[in-house]
Structure 1
């Protein structure tokens, strides 16, 4: 039995259902019963059960046997025994409580996680091939035309009153500057008339009789 193919099959089954925190440990020096211990976390009972079913299907599709499965009734901690490798699928709280890494985590196995499945397009690959330079220039020309049209100023719209036939224009209002200015009388003439009127109103004064000097 090739242990590397078996552990790859188990990891692929876990990744198909989006398992979290997958770790693979070499346990050949700790137990003669199995060579690998694989741990993964599921967020709910439903996910842990789905992860266990996916691991079984992946292992059997690669031609490896599955001995037994324990813990599916509860779903908090499911063990899938694949002979030379054992998969522990636990919820995060159970995994933190038992912390099996202290027992089996002496030697970690380096693996490539998140491998792209066959037939799937990578996220970095473009969906369509880039257009030819001539096609790009052709696509840019209409946009330039529309841009020039939008940049040109729109003609001023005439009002409805101007368009109506026989419409007369209202006479312009005269401003204060255009109104005729009243002529002011000269200041000297006004002063002379005021004096003449005052002289008419005042009574004439009688001349005082002259005193005669006595003769010597």
Structure 2
């Protein structure tokens, strides 16, 4: 799958369960680990876990083998789709780490979805 298809797959899965404050960060100029990062918030640990499970399920249905971290704890779930990295966080975790500020190095790289 190309980058646009991966982004769409992840965003569709997140929209399915109403992820909040979804942002897509274009990090192509900042790192080689991914072209885009998607950062979003789940309302609770259970919501974060279900969002992560849904992204993984959609990826597997598309024939991908995503890397997944943090699903059991459900504080911060990271899903690597090999070109797009998805971060799903509880509100306090997202506020503490502020990934958008870390990866937005003075550009117009972040766009809010939904």
TM-score between both structures, scaled by the size of structure 1: 0.48
CA distance in 2, matches of 1:65, 1:109: 26
Q: Deviations over 1:46-87 (max 9, x none)?
A: 110000010011223234331x11112221111011110100
What SS class does the counterpart of residue 32 from structure 1 fall into? coil
Give secondary structure in 2 for the equivalent of 1:65: coil
State the secondary structure of the residue aligned to 1:39: strand
Paired residue total:
111
1:102 & 1:15 partners in 2: Cα distance? 23
Question: Retained in 1: the 8 A contact 2:39–2:87?
Answer: yes
RMSD of aligned Cα (Å) = 1.6
CA contact (8 A) 2:22 2:112 kept: no
Structure 1's 60 and 31: CA in aligned 2 closer, same or farther, altered over 3 A? same
Q: Which has the higher strand share?
A: 2
- Poorly superposed stretches of 4+, deviation over 4 Å: none
Rounded to whole Å, the distance in 2 between the matches of 1:14 and 1:41 is 10
2:45·2:75 contact (CA, 8 Å) conserved in 1? yes
* Distance in 2 between residues matched to 1:38 and 1:93, nearest whole Å: 17
**Larger relative CO (CA 8 A, sep 6+): 1 or 2?**
2
Contact 1:6–1:64 at 8 Å: present in 2 too? Answer: no
Q: 2:100–2:110: 8 Å Cα contact kept in structure 1?
A: no
8 Å CA contact 1:65–1:83 kept in 2: the answer is no
Residue 50 (structure 1) aligns with: 50
Larger Rg: 1
For structure 1, the residue ranges without an aligned partner over 5 or more in a row are 114-216
Normalising by structure 2, we get a TM-score of 0.89
> In the alignment, what sits opposite 1:108?
110
Structure 2 residue ranges without an equivalent (≥5): none
